[in-house]
């Protein structure tokens, strides 16, 4: 499977995001931001649910995962590590962008170590969300 950067698809079909986030307010904010620009969003309430949805989709059909770090059942770091493990079998690599409410020192390193591709701090804005789609994403504010 040939990988395309998320931004390369903007001119064509709407992008499809998997949003793993347990907080309803944050879910609504992210969904509104993405739908406003024509993207589609599927919401999972925790990391385990996100993995179920990814598995059901055969690890295809999503352009990126927006992954909250702190979630019940399975947090974003665990879920990312599990997804990366499963991708050894599927030979895919979905971009995973971490979302965290506290820009603590070491957060970014932990997210990257878990296999995430980018990092944004909450509350997210469209600008930081798109910046987080590049691996150079870095925390710019705390929440």
Give the interface with Mn ion as residue ranges (CB under 5 A): 22, 68, 70-71
| 70/125 with CB nearer Mn ion | 70
| 51/59 with CB nearer Mn ion | 51
| 14/123 with CB nearer Mn ion | 123
* Min separation Cβ 23 and Mn ion, Å: 5
Yes or no: say if 99 and 137 are a contact pair by the CB < 8 Å rule: no
SS3 label, residue 118: strand
- The residue whose Cβ lies closest to Mn ion is 70
Contacts 24+ apart (CB under 8 A), 118-125: 122/26, 123/26, 123/29, 124/26, 124/29, 124/30, 124/33, 124/99, 125/33
* Min separation Cβ 8 and Mn ion, Å: 30
Encoding tokens for residue 100? 């965290």
| 74/83 with CB nearer Mn ion | 74
| 44/130 with CB nearer Mn ion | 44
* Min separation Cβ 5 and Mn ion, Å: 27
* Min separation Cβ 21 and Mn ion, Å: 6
Q: Three-state SS across 3-57?
A: CCCHHHHCCCCCCEEEEECCCHHHHHHHHHHHHHCCCEEEEECCHHHHHHHHHHC
* Min separation Cβ 30 and Mn ion, Å: 12
């Amino acid at each position: 499977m040939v990988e395309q950067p998320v931004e390369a698809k903007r001119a064509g079909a709407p992008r499809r995001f998997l949003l793993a986030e347990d907080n309803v307010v944050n879910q609504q904010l992210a969904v509104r931001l993405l739908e406003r620009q024509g993207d589609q969003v599927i919401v999972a309430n925790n990391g385990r649910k996100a993995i179920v949805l990814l598995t059901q989709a055969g690890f295809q059909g999503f352009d990126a995962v927006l992954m909250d770090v702190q979630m019940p059942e399975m947090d974003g770091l665990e879920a990312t590590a599990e997804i990366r493990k499963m991708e050894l079998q599927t030979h895919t690599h979905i971009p995973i962008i971490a979302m965290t409410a506290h820009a603590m020192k070491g957060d970014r390193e932990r997210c990257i170590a878990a296999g995430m591709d980018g990092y944004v701090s909450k509350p997210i804005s469209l600008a930081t969300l798109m910046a987080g789609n590049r691996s150079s994403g870095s925390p710019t504010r705390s929440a």
